[in-house]
Chain A
Amino acid sequence: MTRLTAWFSEGRSTGKHTLPFVVILLSVTILASAANLFLPADSAFYVSTYTITLLGKYLCYAMLALAVDIIWGYCGILSLGHGAFFALGGYAMGMYLMRQIGDRGVYGNPLLPDFMVFLDWKELPWFWLGMDQFWFAMLMAVLVPGLLAFVFGWLAFRSRVTGVYLSIMTQALTYALLLAFFRNEMGFGGNNGLTDFKEILGFSLQADSTRVALFLITAILLAVIFVVSQKILSSRLGKVVLAIRDSESRSRFIGYRTDRYKVWLFVYSAVIAGIAGALYVPQVGIINPGEFSPINSIEMVIWVAVGGRGTLIGAVIGALLVNYAKTRFTAIMPDAWLFALGAMFVLVTLYLPKGLMGLYGQLKAKRNSVMNKESQA
């Protein structure tokens, strides 16, 4: 047990959050799932399926925040286009779910999804082939975002596009994809996107048990990605990444091929975003081009900023807090949400550059120094 604890906690100071995080995340998930499945609906501790799905959605966002944090908090690359990787992963899953509908669609075509029948298409486009296989669709959910990130990152980092330039280019990337996916001719359902899913791997998506299973899988994957990312970032490679963040030219002069580190970290981050998207779609039941919109991508950045960038736990906390606030705000006073979000952007950058985790660290340092003084006295 101690070895396990040690394994979880090794590395940089932030690593000490890993074990508590994994334990809390998994126990809350399991408790909530059990409360949904085994308690009667009138029990005080019953957790509704709506809540389960909502929590599952938050966990997907948390995973996405991890992806943004890895690239921004640790490597200083502010990507305003991570929504694109998320949405691509989501579309891969959506295509699989679409193929699973089979002849139960409105038009009852066994091969073609409804929107293709509606557009009077005669056969399946080539990029839809194989998407009826779960393993293949999941491979695509990882591969397509990863490949896009590789091509983009390779082009951008090799020619040393950095800073705000890079941010704008990533925003343009997701904007271009937004425009592309809006087109009906692209074969991704155009404006309406993909929806009306029936089942995943033969399990009905409406069933409580499927929802809980998806929620549990999301939580487990989040934990795994968290631990793996922690490992990667506290390894030698992680130290180089931090060095690049703090002074790229100096790292380059020391002899590191900084562009390669950045490309691979970017790809890793994009793959995580793709996985988050693939988990997100079956839980919310729809994927449409709106996910590509630049504002979504920039919102992800603020989750990380609120939680505290450069700490994985901060990204997760930020994503959960901001999205919980969003759910509450949009229910009570929808108009105020954008004010709140805007104010969050301004105030966090002005007064909380290290986010809530930074605030926590400051408070603790203060308490420690007070305690030290007391003990000296």
Chain B
Amino acid sequence: MNDMVPVLVEIEATSEEAVLPIFQYLVEGSLHYIKTSKQLVAQVEVSGVIRYKDLLTGQVVADLSKSDVDKIRVNNTLRVYLRNAIARIQLSAKSPSVRESAVRSLLSKLDQETVATLESLYPNETNKKVKEAMALALAMNTAAQTQLAPSNRIAAIDTLSTSLESDVRNLLTQLTRDGNAAVVSAANAALEKIAQRVNRFAFVDQLFFGLSLGSVLLLASIGLAITFGVMGVINMAHGEMIMLGAYTTYVVQLIMPNYIDYSIWVAIPAAFLVSGLMGVLIERLVICRLHGRPLETLLATFGISLILQQLVRTIFSPLNRQVSTPSWMSGSWEINPVLSLTLNRLYILAFALLVFIVLVIVLKKTSLGLNVRAVSQNRNMAKAMGVKTHWVDAMTFGLGSGIAGIAGVALSQLTNVGPNLGQSYIIDSFMVVVFGGVGNLLGTLVAAFTLGIATKFLEPTTGAVLAAILVLVFIILFIQKRPKGLFPQKGRAAE
């Protein structure tokens, strides 16, 4: 089988464009040949059925079954050679990003041929990023060569110290056991420098996860903050409003399976309407009859949450439902080798802030917002001034629930959609509202991000469960000191 290597080297030397797909198919193990004609074909899957594709024309060869073809087998030695060869071929690709990733994939397996290729390509490279990556590869090569002068190697190590690639770190760790003392100290210094940068980026990464958790908490709790602030009642079914929003997303995707990328834009208003209408319904049927009895309201809404959960279980089955992520939201933004931010979390963070801003504008600039603020400050006085408090209550509840529905759309992109989705967030959302201070949107914002970041920074040292417990205990103690939260309502309205 190793006889194939010289043949492949010859093929690579032709530098034909068709070589790349052949090599790729060969590595994947999908390269076949037709037994009778010795023609090369690639095995592909077309809508679940295995077909064979002509390599030159790209057309599916009709009427070929598994018995007509034979697989071209490769072993590990060949695979290593092929991968390197593919990277070498991609080095001369047109797109700079392809070239850059080709260089980076070569870092772990620099051999003489690769280095030679890189050296020949380096002077002519015009793209700055590709050139940097190539310089890195060459520096790695220089640093590793024990026969070179130590001064050259130390200079190369200096270049390496600016990189965050794990291959570079591996090499430097090897060099700390080098024979030359100057090289060893240079490598140690470089590793130290890299470790500092890695730590800094790990901090940013943690911060990002904290902000992401905070944004989820913000979305989940902000609706609760409004209803609690205006009506003084706790809606235990708030989590189920989130769940309804998530299921709405699922249903929307069922209805338009071919337009998953756009489904989110339909799901957001749909979830707002579904959860909002459900909220208005609950307010009109149950909560308005329990006016002035907050503890009973809590119990009744808990009953509603049980009914809604069981309803969803009956309709959609108790199993989790898969909601697909639109292609533009999946993937991640790779800033450098140690820091990459997942796009869906990034979008949700932005979305949460957007929802917050819109809500603040609604409350500050619209007549509904004026009424809502009036009722939350002094219900009786507002009533005396002619504010229809019943109508305000229903609208507030609808608004709060609708936002919970939107939170459900966001959550469906992060976690599994199941009947218990809402329950798992409800206690955390209460904590946010209590921590931030009732009826204060800014407090909710600060509290959500504080708790999110605190949780994520505690997690590495204490573990996820203990972090959750510590945060809960902290809030219980915090409430002792400041029973009205971070930003209490002041003045006569407060009591």
Binding site for B on A (CB under 8 A): 76, 78, 152, 155-156, 158-161, 163-165, 167-169, 171-173, 175-176, 179-180, 182-183, 294, 298, 301-302, 305, 335, 338-339, 341-346, 348-350, 353
Contacts and interface: CB of A to CB of B under 8 A. Distances in A.
A350 B289 contact: yes
Given A160-B483, A164-B295, A172-B431, A342 B304 contact: yes
B255 interface: no
A338 B310 contact: yes
B89 to A, nearest CB: 52
A169 B479 contact: yes
Given A155-B480, A335-B310, A339-B310, A302 B299 contact: yes
B427 A179 contact: no
A301 B298 CA distance: 11
B294 A164 contact: yes
Contacts of A294: 427
Interface in B395-450: 427, 430-431, 434
A167 to B, nearest CB: 6
A167 B473 CA distance: 15
Contact of B298 (A167, A173, A348): A167
23 contacts: A158-B480, A161-B479, A164-B232, A164-B234, A165-B479, A165-B483, A167-B234, A169-B476, A171-B427, A171-B430, A172-B472, A176-B468, A179-B468, A180-B465, A301-B299, A302-B299, A335-B310, A338-B307, A338-B309, A341-B303, A346-B307, A349-B293, A349-B303
Given A161-B483, A165-B483, A167-B298, A179 B286 contact: no
B295 A167 contact: yes
A341 B306 contact: yes
A344 B304 CA distance: 10
Given A155-B476, A176-B468, 5 more contacts: A168-B434, A172-B430, A345-B299, A345-B306, A349-B296
Contacts of A156: 479-480
B233 A164 contact: yes
A363 B289 CA distance: 23
A345 B303 contact: yes
A342 B479 contact: no
A91 B17 CA distance: 71
B327 interface: no
A173 B296 CA distance: 21
Given A168-B434, A180-B465, A342 B427 contact: no
Nearest to B286: A346
Contacts of B431: 172
Given A164-B234, A172-B472, A349-B290, A343 B303 contact: yes
B472 A176 contact: yes
Contact of A179 (B232, B469, B480): B469
Contacts of B466: 180, 183
A175 B472 contact: yes
A335 B290 contact: no
B307 A168 contact: no
Given A161-B479, A350-B300, A179 B309 contact: no
B313 to A, nearest CB: 7
Nearest to A344: B303
The CB with the most chain B CB atoms within 10 A, among A155, A158, A338, is that of: A338
Please list the 9 inter-chain residue pairs (A to B) with the smallest Cβ-Cβ separation, ordered nearest first.
Answer: A345-B303, A342-B306, A342-B307, A338-B310, A176-B472, A349-B300, A346-B303, A342-B303, A349-B296
Contact of A165 (B311, B434, B465): B434
Interface of B: 228, 232-234, 286, 289-290, 293-300, 302-307, 309-311, 313-314, 427, 430-431, 434, 465-466, 468-469, 472-473, 475-477, 479-481, 483
Contacts of B430: 168, 171-172
A172 B300 contact: no
Nearest to A347: B303
Contacts of A171: 427, 430
A91 to B, nearest CB: 17
Q: Is the interface of A mostly helix, strand, loop or mixed?
A: helix
B286 A350 contact: yes
A297 B477 CA distance: 22
A342 B295 contact: no
B427 A172 contact: yes
Contacts of B465: 179-180, 182-183
B302 A172 contact: no
Contacts of A346: 286, 300, 303-304, 307
A319 to B, nearest CB: 16
A76 B293 CA distance: 11
A230 to B, nearest CB: 24
A105 to B, nearest CB: 27
A150 B309 CA distance: 35
The CB with the most chain A CB atoms within 10 A, among B228, B232, B302, B477, is that of: B302
Nearest to A293: B423
Contact of A172 (B294, B297, B475, B483): B475
Contacts of B434: 165, 168-169
Contact of A180 (B233, B297, B469): B469
B447 to A, nearest CB: 14
The CB with the most chain B CB atoms within 10 A, among A158, A172, A341, A350, is that of: A172
A349 B282 CA distance: 14
B95 to A, nearest CB: 49
A114 B303 CA distance: 40
Contacts of B472: 172-173, 175-176
A346 B427 CA distance: 21
Contacts of B234: 164, 167-168
Nearest to B484: A165
A114 B475 CA distance: 36
Given A161-B479, A335-B314, A176 B304 contact: no
A268 B468 CA distance: 29
Given A335-B313, A346-B300, A176 B469 contact: yes
Contacts of B311: 339
B200 to A, nearest CB: 31
A19 B289 CA distance: 38
A269 B315 CA distance: 41
B305 A342 contact: yes
A299 to B, nearest CB: 10
Contacts of B309: 338
The CB with the most chain A CB atoms within 10 A, among B297, B477, B480, is that of: B480
A373 to B, nearest CB: 32
A347 to B, nearest CB: 8
Contacts of B481: 159
Contact of A353 (B232, B296, B310, B427): B296
Contacts of B295: 76, 78, 163-164, 167
Nearest to B438: A165
Contacts of B313: 335, 338
A342 B298 contact: no
A176 B468 CA distance: 8
A298 B301 CA distance: 12
A164 B430 CA distance: 11
B250 to A, nearest CB: 21
A132 B306 CA distance: 41
A238 B476 CA distance: 28
B484 to A, nearest CB: 9
Given A164-B233, A345-B306, A78 B298 contact: yes
Contacts of A350: 286, 289-290, 300
Nearest to A170: B476
The CB with the most chain A CB atoms within 10 A, among B299, B309, B311, B427, is that of: B299
Given A172-B427, A342-B304, A163 B294 contact: yes
A173 B477 CA distance: 11
Contacts of B305: 342
